[in-house]
């Protein structure tokens, strides 16, 4: 068993954990950031990409609304390269209560959120696909943000300040010495090697899994898991974030993120953050709600469905919760020294992606108090790597670069315009796991979902000596299987035709179900092994959307992946 020593150990590599690790590293602490999988593969990598203005919460959750608008301004300064400044609209349709608008305006004014009313005609000029039967429309400073890019920018800054990032390391034990936590034991999920990490202070930032980590120390921390599903459409139906002008509900927001748009989201309490279904009725409900915002929404191609779980902390004093939408979206710091008499350990939970930096500042401030040191936070004024110039992300950036050199390096992923050299460089930095590379450069996240590019990328990993033959096969099989989970529930129309084509490529030509290495692929999902994709499509889908065909199916397993 190997051993490491650090001052601050951060458990959880989502936005909150990465933000805490960066904050600690910038204050001069020796820091280790650890996650059981790749960074941002939990809740952070499974949301719709909204940089909140706070408008969504001004009536029901005003504290969270104020936190969001404050951090919206901060992230625009420090993470510009990760943000597309789309702006946002709150629109009142014929399905919405006209009395809500007055409450919304008053709430925005109390929270300090800039708001401007637009005429329906002006709104339709800006977004011509919107429901033409709009009554009132308000602009707010919503935007979109790339979750993976932001988290890895934080992680790179940790490394630049002599910190360590350990992905694919699962905590198996907290080291408890009487009433003090002195670190943890983790196991490398890829090698099986155990590592002991001795830490002066340990911060639990594991989101929906925070209760499980706290439980290793014998602490009763209850974090509710609120499941939300989202559907990505294969192109942007709007250029701005569009919200329904009503209290937060299911299927009431459309977010343009990169080359797609995402309809979201549900909120259903589940018992286990790692085991829950996506049901067909949820998918159909989302498509119906999308139709209320954008007529013809159902006729667009649904590209992928996936889900994630929100970490919702409910203090025991407030009793049982029947509806997770009633739980505040604000964050909570659990100082276990004060509450439980256990020092060297705290939990930061709840909150939003938009507020991750503020959460990190509060957590590290608390750690400083317990360590008896005074070190100022600088994350609100120090730009993340690649955001130093303060320029927002531009959707056409990759195309523009390609047009300057149309005969340059070979494109491997045409959908996302990713070159051979960029993929090879990413693999040399991060290894040959194709799902990790997807999150790094957006490989295979276009309309074909890897159908044309992923076997080429797998070949690059092998040709450059990054993965041996068996590992390359395993990476390819795992990638195809994970993509299939999110595509399978949407097999009709163009998406069904794409699935049949992919089946012919991967099984008809490459015969991937018989490649050596299948047993190492971490999934037993059918569709990449056993019956072919075409066979499954014939058994579970028709050429029409399910609502039209009136077919009945059972629950679908959790769709895996990120925002597209």
Assess whether pLDDT exceeds 90 at residue 556. Answer: no
Q: Is the model's pLDDT at 240 over the cut of 70?
A: yes
Predicted pLDDT at 514: 87
Buried b (16+ CB within 10 A) or exposed e, 374-405: ebebebbeebbeebeeeeebebeebeeeeeee
What is the C-alpha separation between 392 and 397, in angstroms, rounded?
11
Per-residue pLDDT for 225 more than 80? yes
- The mean per-residue pLDDT over the stretch 341-362 comes to 96
pLDDT at residue 318 in the model: 59
- Whose tokens are 């909570």? That residue is 332
pLDDT of 402 > 50? The answer is yes
Cβ contacts of 125 within 8 Å, gap of 6 or more: none
- Entry field: residues in the chain: 564
The closest alpha carbon to 334, from 178, 212, 224, 211, belongs to 211
Among candidates 460, 424, 458, which has minimal Cα distance to 441?
424
Domain ranges of the chain: 2-43+148-222+327-371, 76-144+224-325, 397-557
Q: Tokens 């990638």 — which residue?
A: 479
pLDDT at 314: 77
Asked if residues 13 and 39 have their Cβ atoms less than 8 Å apart, the reply is yes
Q: Tokens for 358, please give them.
A: 């503020």
C-alpha angle 207-210-215 in degrees, rounded to nearest 5: 170
Query: Among 343, 130, 318, 310, which residue's Cα sits nearest to residue 227?
Result: 310
pLDDT of residue 327: 73
Q: CA 457, CA 479: separation in Å to the nearest integer?
A: 11
- 361 with 380: CB under 8 angstroms? yes
What is the distance between the alpha carbons of residues 435 and 442, in angstroms, rounded to a whole number? 9
CATH architecture of 76-144+224-325: 2-Layer Sandwich (3.30)
513 — pLDDT class (breaks 50, 70, 90)? confident
How many C-beta neighbours within 10 Å does residue 194 have? 15
* Least confident stretch, 129-143, 254-268, 502-516: 502-516
**Please, which contacts does 218-222 make with residues 24 or more away whose CB atoms are closer than 8 Å?**
218/176, 219/336, 219/340, 219/342, 219/347, 221/334, 221/347, 221/349, 222/313, 222/314, 222/316
pLDDT for residue 549 is more than 70: no
For the stretch 437-488, pLDDT in tens is: 999 999 999 888 999 999 999 999 999 999 999 999 999 999 999 999 999 9
Q: Does 550 have pLDDT greater than 50? A: no
Please state, in angstroms and rounded to a whole number, the distance separating the CA atoms of residues 484 and 559.
8
What are the residues whose beta carbons fall under 8 Å from the beta carbon of 201, sequence distance 6 or more? 7, 8, 9, 344, 345, 367, 370, 371
Mean pLDDT of the chain: 90
For the entire predicted model, the pTM comes to: 0.91
Domains 2-43+148-222+327-371 and 76-144+224-325 share a fold: no
For the segment 506-528, the average pLDDT, to the nearest whole number, is 66
Give the residue-averaged pLDDT of 209-227. 94
- Whether residue 564 is predicted with pLDDT greater than 60 in this model: the reply is no
pLDDT at 324 over 70: no
Burial of 126 (0-12, 13-18, 19+ CB in 10 A): middle
Residue 528 has pLDDT above 60, yes or no: no
Percentage of the chain exceeding pLDDT 70: 90
Q: Give the CA radius of gyration of the chain.
A: 23
Q: Are 228 and 307 in contact (CB under 8 A)?
A: yes
* C-alpha–C-alpha distance, residues 354 and 69, integer Å: 9
Fold assignment, 2-43+148-222+327-371: FAD/NAD(P)-binding domain (3.50.50)
59 or 564, which is more confident: 59
Q: Are 65 and 58 in contact (CB under 8 A)?
A: yes
Q: Are 11 and 204 in contact (CB under 8 A)?
A: yes
Sign of torsion over alpha carbons 331, 358, 12, 482: positive
CB 457 within 8 A of CB 437: yes
Identify which of 22, 21, 87 has the alpha carbon closest to the alpha carbon of residue 50. Answer: 87
Residue of 225, 205, 255 whose CA lies nearest to 53: 255
Helices (H), 127-257: 147-160, 210-215
C-alpha distances (whole Å) from 432 to each of 111, 322, 409, 450, 469 are 46, 44, 20, 15, 11
- Tally Cβ neighbours within 10 Å of residue 14: 26
Cβ-in-10-Å burial (0-12, 13-18, 19+) of 24 comes to buried
């Amino acid at each position: 068993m190997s051993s490491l020593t650090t001052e601050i150990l951060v458990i959880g590599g989502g936005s909150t954990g990465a933000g805490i690790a960066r904050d600690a590293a910038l204050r001069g602490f020796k820091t280790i950031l650890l996650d059981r999988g790749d960074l941002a593969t939990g809740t952070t990598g499974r949301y719709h990409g909204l940089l909140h203005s706070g408008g969504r919460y001004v009536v029901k959750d005003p504290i969270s609304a104020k936190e969001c608008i404050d951090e919206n301004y901060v992230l625009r300064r420090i993470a510009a390269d990760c943000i597309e400044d789309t702006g946002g609209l709150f629109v009142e349709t014929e399905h919405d209560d006209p009395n809500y608008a007055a409450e919304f305006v008053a709430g925005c004014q109390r929270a300090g959120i800039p708001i401007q009313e637009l005429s329906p005609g002006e709104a339709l000029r800006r977004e011509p696909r919107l429901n033409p039967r709009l009554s009132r429309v308000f602009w707010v400073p919503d935007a979109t943000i790339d979750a993976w890019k932001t988290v890895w920018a934080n992680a790179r800054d940790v490394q630049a300040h002599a910190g360590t990032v350990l992905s694919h390391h699962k905590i198996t034990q907290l080291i408890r010495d009487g009433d003090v936590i002195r670190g943890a034991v983790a196991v490398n999920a890829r090698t099986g090697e155990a590592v002991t990490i001795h830490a002066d202070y340990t911060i639990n930032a594991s989101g929906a899994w925070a209760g499980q980590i706290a439980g290793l120390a014998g602490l009763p921390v209850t974090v509710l898991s609120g499941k939300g599903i989202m559907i990505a459409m294969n192109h942007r139906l709007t250029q701005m974030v569009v919200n329904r002008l009503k209290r937060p509900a299911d299927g009431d927001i459309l977010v343009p993120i990169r080359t797609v748009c995402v309809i979201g989201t549900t909120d259903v309490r589940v018992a286990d953050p790692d085991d829950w279904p996506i049901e067909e009725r949820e998918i159909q409900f989302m498509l119906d709600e999308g139709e209320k915002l954008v007529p013809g929404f159902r006729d667009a191609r649904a590209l992928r469905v996936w889900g994630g779980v929100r970490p919702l902390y409910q203090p025991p004093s407030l009793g049982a919760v029947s509806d997770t939408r009633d739980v505040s979206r604000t964050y909570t710091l659990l100082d276990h020294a004060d509450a439980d008499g256990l020092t060297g350990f705290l939990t930061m939970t709840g909150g939003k992606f938009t507020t991750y930096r503020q959460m990190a500042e509060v957590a590290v401030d608390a750690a400083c108090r317990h360590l008896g040191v005074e070190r100022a936070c600088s994350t609100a004024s120090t730009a993340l790597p690649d955001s130093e110039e303060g320029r927002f992300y531009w959707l056409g950036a990759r195309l523009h670069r390609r047009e300057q050199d149309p005969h340059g390096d070979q494109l491997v992923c045409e959908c996302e315009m990713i070159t051979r050299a960029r993929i090879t460089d990413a693999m040399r930095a991060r290894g040959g796991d194709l799902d990790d590379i997807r999150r790094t450069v957006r490989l295979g996240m276009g309309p074909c979902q890897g159908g044309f590019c992923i076997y080429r990328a797998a070949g690059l990993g092998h040709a450059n000596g990054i993965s041996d033959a068996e590992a390359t096969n395993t990476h390819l099989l795992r990638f195809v299987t994970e993509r299939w989970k999110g595509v399978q529930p949407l097999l009709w129309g163009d998406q069904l035709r794409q699935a049949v084509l992919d089946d012919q490529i991967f099984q008809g030509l490459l015969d991937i179900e018989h490649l050596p290495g299948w047993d190492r692929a971490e999934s037993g999902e059918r569709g990449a092994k056993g019956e072919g994709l075409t066979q499954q499509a014939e058994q579970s889908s028709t050429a029409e959307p399910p609502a039209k065909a009136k077919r009945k199916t059972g629950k679908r397993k959790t769709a895996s992946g990120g925002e597209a």
